[in-house]
Chains A and B, each alone.
Chain A
Amino acid sequence: MATTLSRDAVAGRPVDPAAPLLAVEDLHVEFRIDAGTVRAVNGLSYTLRRGETVAILGESGSGKSVSAQAVMGIIDSPPGFVTGGSVRFRGVELLDLPEAERRRVRGDRIAMIFQDALTALNPVFPVGWQIAEMFRMHRGLPRKEAREKAIELMERVKIPSARTRVGSYPHEFSGGMRQRVMIAMALSLDPEILIADEPTTALDVTVQAQIMSLLAELQQQTGMGLILITHDLGVVAEVAEEVVVMYAGREVEKGPSLPVYHQPAHPYTMGLMDSLPRRDVHTERLQPIKGSPPDLLAIPSGCPFRPRCPYTREICTREEPPLAAVTPERVSACHFWEEVSRERAGA
């Protein structure tokens, strides 16, 4: 889908051709509520390159969704505030942009899809109307043309009988079809980055696979970057080149997905891998990670994973582990990453 707009500038500022598609650095996001300050994101950094898929993995409360919302700039403020760091889209600092400019980037250059399409779509407007809205608002297309574009898009995401269903309402579709509608809506203006926040969590397993392969196909066609936020390890392995494991608002392990999977260098990642049921290994009981995620109002001192970690030692209470380079491409935030990674050596 060709566009006529120049893609060499972001909100009027020239792009840096050498810069990666998205560079998040030391991002901090807080929520100030009655009970205190919730530190949702605490120094997250990652990079996304053209055509690449980065998976952000973590439990609820790890800050993965909030960080994505910070990139999009859709955090409710108050009570949420981006208190530090940088988010650079092709070299242009998004956090410095005035809201009006940020809005132009939103949806047009960076798009986002959400978990539950039933509540994420407006129930009182037809799906075609909601998709066409992108063209009407961002590109100023007249209604009829916009509608045609919407039908095209619906066909592109493989919704059958698109022409007849363009006037249907979200609740008239099945879960998988609804998610396709959301994808169509997000991709309408050919964004350079798509952020998918748990796109398949609410769907059946077979439908999950369909949606993931659709996303992969579309990514191949357009060369867009995909940020996949999920807590589903299986999905990550198949799709992502790079994985960022988040805990208590920051990355605890980051690197190419397969090596991280086979040889985790952080106790949390290892715990995640161990908690998966596996066909090839016979186990009596599943091994969940003991304890529960930290209260973000009062994150433990030192290493936040300390209370649940089987490797914990005295230094873990005192010092927050720095991001150590496991290999030139991988980092891990654990004082004892060497020990941890040796556990799975040769697996």
Chain B
Amino acid sequence: MSDRDRERLFTSSPAPVVASFEELEAEPIIRREGSLYADAWRQLRRRPMFIISGILIVILAVMAIWPGLFTRADPRACDLADSLLRPSSQHWFGTDVQGCDYYARTIWGARVSITIGVLVTACATLIAVLLGSVAGYYGGIVDTLIARLTDIWFAIPTILGGIVILRSIFSTRGLLQVSLVLIVLGWPTMLRLVRSAVMATKEMDYVDAARALGVRNIRIIRRHILPNAVAPVIVYATITVGVIISAEAALSFLGVGLQLPAISWGLMISVAQNRILTAPHLLLFPGAFLSVTVFSFILMGDALRDALDPRLR
């Protein structure tokens, strides 16, 4: 599968293939001054998609950092006598099997999800940018090696790989271990993206100009290529946060992710499985929060992409 298609897959941002006659004739010849980012910011401020997802993400981030703001109850203060209560004014979301306040648990669950999402994405992006820009810029053997390496990783589907690694290697699975596995499974896609973005930018004339002037390679990468290649990476990183949060939940649901007593939405849903008919609230609340979280990150990614890629408007 060609890299162009992989990139297209994950960003829906078309690689420059055909010019559009519509634009050639319709756009004014003299353009407004302003960088891509200034333009993008102006656009973003107006879009409802961005505003909505932005607000949601801020709320979730606050929820993750200061869960105490949303609930004063202790998610671990459980009274068996209160087991499986329906939502009421005392317990907004009811209680779970152990008698813990479900609302508190749900709020505290945000911390795990957001932390893993951001941590994994940040690390995977870092690795991907480092390796990907080297691979894309220098090409040749380095590129082939890195490309084959990522191919190998690609050959193993995420969930399957996650199950095998988590089962076989780790006896205790905490935040760190799960994050590590997700980073390892996540960087190949990001790398592919960075690599093709760098390769596309490398072809641009201003890079040739810089080289002709004798600028050293590292400097070229840092100041000319990366800033321009970084737009699809931003978009994809945002979407990846959502995907990782979803993946952690799936792995925890399957029993190979976080373990009790960690508070994770996926874990909560997994426990809720056997009781969906009798106590649907056990499934619905974490499920809803999980969905809204993933949704807001993907929506944000979409909004960023629309703003940063002028051709898709």
Contact = CB atoms under 8 A, between A and B. Distances in A.
Interface of A: 31, 33, 35, 38, 40, 60-61, 63, 65-66, 69, 76, 79-80, 119, 292-298
Contacts of B27: 33, 38
Given A76-B22, A119-B18, A35 B28 contact: yes
Contact of A31 (B18, B19, B25, B30): B25
B29 interface: yes
7 contacts: A31-B26, A33-B26, A38-B28, A65-B25, A119-B18, A119-B19, A293-B29
Given A119-B18, A292-B29, 12 more contacts: A33-B26, A38-B27, A38-B28, A40-B25, A40-B26, A60-B29, A65-B21, A79-B22, A293-B29, A296-B28, A296-B29, A298-B28
B24 interface: yes
A60 B24 contact: yes
Interface string B1-45: 000000000000000001101101111111000000000000000
A31 B24 CA distance: 12
5 shortest interchain CB distances as A-B pairs: A31-B26, A295-B28, A295-B30, A297-B28, A61-B29
Contacts of B18: 119
A63 B26 CA distance: 10
Interface in B107-144: none
Interface of B: 18-19, 21-22, 24-30
Contacts of B29: 60-61, 292-296
Nearest to A293: B29
B30 A38 contact: no
A163 B152 CA distance: 45
A297 B30 CA distance: 9
Most A C-beta atoms less than 10 A away, residue of B26, B27, B29:
B26
A316 B54 CA distance: 52
Contacts, number: 38
Nearest to B18: A119
Contacts of A33: 26-27
A61 B29 CA distance: 7
Contact of A38 (B19, B21, B26): B26
B275 to A, nearest CB: 53
Nearest to A296: B28
Nearest to B25: A66
Contacts of A295: 28-30
A272 to B, nearest CB: 17
A154 B19 CA distance: 27
A20 to B, nearest CB: 26
B152 to A, nearest CB: 31
B32 to A, nearest CB: 9
A79 B26 contact: yes
Contacts of A296: 28-29
Contacts of B26: 31, 33, 38, 40, 79-80
A31 B28 CA distance: 11
B18 to A, nearest CB: 5
Nearest to B30: A295
B50 to A, nearest CB: 17
A113 to B, nearest CB: 14
A50 to B, nearest CB: 29
B234 to A, nearest CB: 24
Contacts of B19: 119
Contacts of B24: 60, 65
B237 to A, nearest CB: 29
Contacts of B22: 76, 79-80
A298 B55 CA distance: 39
A239 B18 CA distance: 30
Contacts of A69: 21
A15 B22 CA distance: 33
A35 B30 CA distance: 12
B22 to A, nearest CB: 6
B16 to A, nearest CB: 11
Nearest to A297: B28
B30 A292 contact: yes
A292 B21 CA distance: 20
A296 B19 CA distance: 20
Contacts of A40: 25-26
A60 B30 CA distance: 12
Contacts of A35: 28
A192 B27 CA distance: 32
A35 B39 CA distance: 13
B311 to A, nearest CB: 14
Nearest to A65: B25
A69 B21 CA distance: 11
A35 B24 CA distance: 15
Nearest to B22: A76
A207 B122 CA distance: 53
A193 B99 CA distance: 84
A295 B25 CA distance: 11
A60 B27 CA distance: 11
Nearest to A80: B26
A295 B19 CA distance: 20
A249 B25 CA distance: 11
Contacts of B25: 31, 40, 61, 63, 65-66
